Structure formats: C-alpha cells, structure tokens
C-alpha cells in the first residue's frame, strides 16, 4: 500500500506541472477515469476537466508552487492533507486542506478547502 504522503505528493505534482503533456500523464497516473475535484472556486469531472482546472490556476497564478504542509493521513480509502501555495522563499499566499477518496492508490474524488486565501481570489 502506498503511504499517504506519497499519494499527496503525487497529487500536488499534478498541480505544479506546467508542461501540458507531462501534466496529463501525471493525471492519468494519479486519478481514476471517473474522478471529481471540487473546491469553493471550481469543479471538474474527468481527466480533461481536471487538466483544464490546473492550467487555469497556472494562468491566473503564474510561478506559484504547491507544497505539502506536514504529513498526510490515510485511513482505508480516505486521505487528508494540508498544502500551501506561494512563490519560492515567500510566505504562502494560499493555504488549504484537501480530503480525498481513493480507489486503490488513485484519487477518485478530492474536496478542497481554503484555510487561508486573499479576499480578491
């Protein structure tokens, strides 16, 4: 069984990948075909829509990187982890916590919560 932190890092690698072809390959590795992502700002279903969401974040917030904020937790098919988003060397602009349902070692659903975000986001 893959540990929780490895799965969370694989998920964040998708969000950090700027090369579209490489990102789509990472999505295929990390997510099931019938996957869903939802947070207070956006929602996507399937690999194509999740790729579009990630591309939109890169367009809106260029140069920012996601980092795992502490270890991830896993219980059965449930995964929980916190993350931060910011420029290297700066305080994070956004912090959040995500909860996921896994299908084996792949993400089936992810629900994202924003713990800290600028009002103008």
Q: Look up residue 92 and give its DSSP letter.
A: -
121 in any annotated domain: no
- Whether 99 shows a pLDDT value over 70: the answer reads yes
53 in any annotated domain: yes
pTM recorded for the entire structure: 0.94
Find the angle CA(106)-CA(104)-CA(33) to the nearest 5 degrees.
45
Torsion of CA 33, 99, 112, 81, to 10 degrees: -110
Helix (H) / strand (E) containing 23: helix 20-30
Query: What is the predicted pLDDT for the residue at 1?
Result: 65
Place of tokens 């990472």: 26
pLDDT, tens digit, 9 for 90 and up, residues 12-65: 999 999 999 999 999 999 999 999 999 999 999 999 999 999 999 999 999 999
84 in any annotated domain: yes
CATH code for position 104: 3.10.450.50
Helix (H) / strand (E) containing 35: strand 31-38
Number of domains in the chain: 1
Integer Rg of the chain from CA = 13
20 in any annotated domain: yes
- For residue 56, the enclosing domain spans 4-116
């Amino acid at each position: 069984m893959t540990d929780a932190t490895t799965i969370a890092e694989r998920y964040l690698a998708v969000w950090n990948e700027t090369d579209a072809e490489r990102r789509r390959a990472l999505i295929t590795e990390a997510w099931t075909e019938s996957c869903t992502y939802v947070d207070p700002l956006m929602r996507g279903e399937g690999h194509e829509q999740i790729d579009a969401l990630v591309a939109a974040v890169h367009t809106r917030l260029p140069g920012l990187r996601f980092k795992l904020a502490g270890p991830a937790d896993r219980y059965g098919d449930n995964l929980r982890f916190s993350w931060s988003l910011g420029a290297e060397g700066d305080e994070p602009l956004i912090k959040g916590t995500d909860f996921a349902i896994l299908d084996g070692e792949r993400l089936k659903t992810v629900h994202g919560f924003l713990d800290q975000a600028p009002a103008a986001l």
